[in-house]
Amino acid sequence: MSASAPVRQLMAADIQARKGGAPLVCLTAYTTPMARLVDAHCDLALVGDSLGMVLHGLPSTIGVTMEMMILHGKAVVRGTSKALVVIDMPFGSYEESPAQAFRNAARLMAETGAGAVKLEGGVQMAETIRFLVGRGIPVMAHVGLTPQAVNTLGGYKVQGRDADAERVMADAKAVAEAGAFSVVLEKVPDGLSRRITEAVAIPTVGIGASAGCDGQVLVLDDMLGLFTDFRPKFVKRFGELGQAADEAIAAYAAEVRARSFPAAEHVFPDVLKAKA
């Protein structure tokens, strides 16, 4: 019997070709163990700059650095063999000029081994996306709520309601025409998300958007319920690991204080028993 063919890691072109096909599955990943779990089930593993808030306790993504993204990007790449690894460009690493964006995107890909980068912004970032794609950098775009612009947006608000819908539609069309291989729609109303999905030739990946998008992404820690006090409307909890972890740590603490752990089976005897 011949050996099975090795699994080929997905590339940006494979994701783009899924437009209108089977829904794309994406989750964030920041560490090697979690990347292995994500890789087993997902098409894309996103090394999101959300790691600043999720892992480092920052109040927003604004303080995330290139060094942080590279460190976690390397860890995620080590844990994947199938999913396309996309790495976020942090705030301040690409907005100044297309040339600045290329230097930093090239560094992220070269030092981590990720297969693509993601950057936020629509019409205003189209020139930069075109510049990157033309020089061999696959780009996932991100429109709607763009967390790096939270200070100008006035908070984490839904984008694209009423008269604002035209702006979000224009942003999505601009990044698609500029050469992005897919676009994240964050906190965009259901109907508008569906219209954008029909209007652009690249896959849309929703987060707080619509089931009509070409795929979905969530922050892994959110959908696992690792944060017991964070319950945004658009996140369905597929687990309650935070509560389970709290109970396990409490049980451990109780046993340590009662000196019932470690028990006899967890320690090493002074003398080995002689074999019969």
- Which residues carry a binding-site annotation for Mg(2+)? 49, 88, 120
Cite the beta strand spans of 32-180 per DSSP E: 44-47, 84-88, 116-120, 139-144
Residue identified by tokens 């604004």 is 62
CA distances from 219 to 91, 113, 230 (A): 18, 21, 12
CA distances from 39 to 185, 216, 225, 237 (A): 22, 15, 19, 19
Residue 195: both structure tokens together: 């219209």
**Run of H or E including 14:** helix 12-16
**Run of H or E including 36:** helix 32-39
Which amino acid is it at 257?
Answer: R
Q: Are 15 and 43 in contact (CB under 8 A)?
A: yes
Helix (H) and strand (E) counts for the chain?
Answer: 11, 8
Binding residues for 3-methyl-2-oxobutanoate, as ranges, are 49-50, 88, 118
Across-strand partners of 25?
Answer: 216
Q: Mind telling me the catalytic residues?
A: 186
Q: Are 29 and 35 in contact (CB under 8 A)?
A: yes
Binding residues, as ranges, are 49-50, 88, 118, 120
